[in-house]
Chain A
Amino acid sequence: MSSPTKMKVAVKGVYTEVKILMQHVMENGRRKDDNGNIIPAWYISDFKVKHKDEVVFEGQFGTSVSKNPYLVCRILGAAAGEKITVSWVDNHGEQREDEAVIE
């Protein structure tokens, strides 16, 4: 079970700042456990930021993104009280979607 993505979204003048903290181990597939066995790669591969069902910002991650990926983007044409949705999928096919209200 994955944990909810933490979000803080606020209008800052002309743009809306979207601060995102996804919860994920982001294993790079090269680390070893205490018994010397390789820990398999496990990472968020794709994410999308949506406003009113429109994808406004999206991207792909590799294994060089830090554990619990942190992301800030700036979007246009959104207003306080509206919702922003963040969804991700990892290389195991696990996915989740969370939303936040713009302040």
Chain B
Amino acid sequence: MTIQERAEVDLSRRNAMKKAGNLGLLGLLASIGLTPNLAEAGLSAAAFDAKSLDAALDALGGLIATENAAIQITAPEIAENGTVVPVTVDCSLAQVEQISILVEKNPTILAAHFVISKRATGFVNTKIKMAQTSNVIALVKANGKFYRTSKEVKVSAGGC
């Protein structure tokens, strides 16, 4: 290895560590409920730009969420038309703060993110596009904790 190559390796390693360090800080902030990108200004683009389900959940702060039967997703078993798929999320949890709807196999995984005030119930009904058969995930933040549930929707004709 020449000195030049050695320097490049060092530099790339340093950059990688720098990136990891930044992520660590974000993760730490998220774990104590202080995600700057989830402030009242709204979500950062990262949540909508995420290209994997885990990345989207992470950007929402809900990578670690427990399955909870108190969240109900109502959606068709088979959607004939992927351009309009009705989805309802209804949760009986106390103090619902956020509801996010994600489609695992869509190009844009996060479909919609809702902020629920104390003046609203943990309920939302909307219509989304689905590219193909996929799990639809509801991520719910209630009383500071994240919960999730999912439901598979078979799509006959994708529309994304």
Binding site for B on A (CB under 8 A): 15, 28, 30, 46, 51, 54-67, 69-77
CB of B57 to closest CB in A, whole Å: 14
> What are 30 A-B interface contacts by the 8 Å CB criterion?
A28-B129, A30-B160, A56-B117, A59-B112, A59-B113, A59-B114, A59-B115, A60-B42, A60-B113, A62-B108, A62-B111, A62-B112, A64-B103, A64-B108, A64-B111, A64-B112, A65-B129, A66-B83, A66-B84, A66-B127, A67-B83, A70-B126, A71-B125, A72-B123, A73-B120, A73-B121, A74-B123, A75-B120, A76-B118, A77-B119
- CB-defined contacts of A60 to chain B, threshold 8 Å: 42-43, 48, 112-113
Main secondary structure of the interface of A (DSSP, over half): strand
CB of B127 to closest CB in A, whole Å: 4
What is the number of residues of chain B that contact chain A, defined by CB distance less than 8 Å?
34
Q: List the A residue with the shortest CB-CB distance to B125.
A: A72
Is the beta-carbon distance between A64 and B120 smaller than 8 angstroms?
A: no
- CB-defined contacts of A15 to chain B, threshold 8 Å: 121
Given A46-B42, A60-B43, A69:B108 Cβ within 8 A: no
Q: How far is the CA of A71 from the CA of B108 in the complex (A)?
A: 19
- CB-defined contacts of A59 to chain B, threshold 8 Å: 112-115
